[in-house]
């Protein structure tokens, strides 16, 4: 991704995790409703915004929300003063990317099997 004068923050389930006795992977992003790792089939959420703290909070919150709620949240808050852009990567190899990031984002050759979905208003 090529951007300037902004914060880029990512939350994901692929670095901080452990394998339990049941051979299942457990990560550090918890769903406040269940107290268990948030499991909405998202592997990572990347937020692009002017404020790093906002990006940190949003990347975790949207990870917990899941794809549909995250997209709705982005659409509802698109015109706010603290507007943000996002990239959601799901465990079924889809990349949901907001329309203003498309021209700044390039997949690496190793990730060509991912399907990009552009999120628009």
Q: What is the pLDDT of residues 56-96, one digit of tens each?
A: 999 999 999 999 999 999 999 987 777 899 999 999 999 99
Classify residue 19: in a domain, yes or no. Answer: no
Categorize the per-residue pLDDT at 53 as very low, low, confident or very high, splitting at 50, 70 and 90: very high
Pairing, β 115-119 against β 7-12: unpaired
Nearest to 87 by CA among 29, 3, 22: 3
Classify residue 20: in a domain, yes or no. Answer: no
Name the residue range of residue 110's domain.
Answer: 7-12+40-119
Q: Indicate if the pLDDT at residue 5 is higher than 80.
A: yes
Residue 79's pLDDT is 76
Number of compact structural domains in the chain? 1
Classify residue 1: in a domain, yes or no. Answer: no
Classify residue 44: in a domain, yes or no. Answer: yes
Classify residue 93: in a domain, yes or no. Answer: yes
Q: List, in order, residues 6 or more apart from 119 with CB less than 8 Å away.
A: 71, 74, 86, 96, 97, 98, 99
Categorise residue 92: left if φ over 0, alpha if ψ from -120 to 50, beta otherwise.
Answer: alpha
- Of the chain, the percentage scoring pLDDT greater than 70 comes to 100
In the predicted model, what is the mean pLDDT of residues 38-42? 96
Classify residue 71: in a domain, yes or no. Answer: yes
Residue 1's pLDDT is 85
Does the predicted TM-score (pTM) go above 0.85? yes
- Segment among 4-8, 29-33, 81-85 with least mean pLDDT: 81-85
């Amino acid at each position: 991704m090529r951007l300037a004068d902004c914060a880029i923050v990512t939350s994901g389930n692929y670095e901080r995790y452990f394998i339990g006795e049941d051979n299942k992977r457990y990560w550090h992003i918890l769903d406040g409703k269940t107290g268990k790792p948030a499991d909405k089939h998202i592997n990572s959420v990347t937020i692009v915004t002017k404020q790093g703290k906002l990006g940190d909070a949003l990347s975790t919150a949207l990870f917990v929300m899941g794809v549909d709620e995250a997209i709705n949240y982005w659409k509802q808050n698109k015109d706010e003063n603290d507007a943000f852009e996002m990239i959601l990567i799901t465990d079924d190899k889809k990349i949901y990317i907001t329309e203003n990031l498309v021209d700044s984002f390039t997949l690496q050759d190793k990730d060509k099997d991912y399907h990009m979905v552009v999120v628009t208003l």
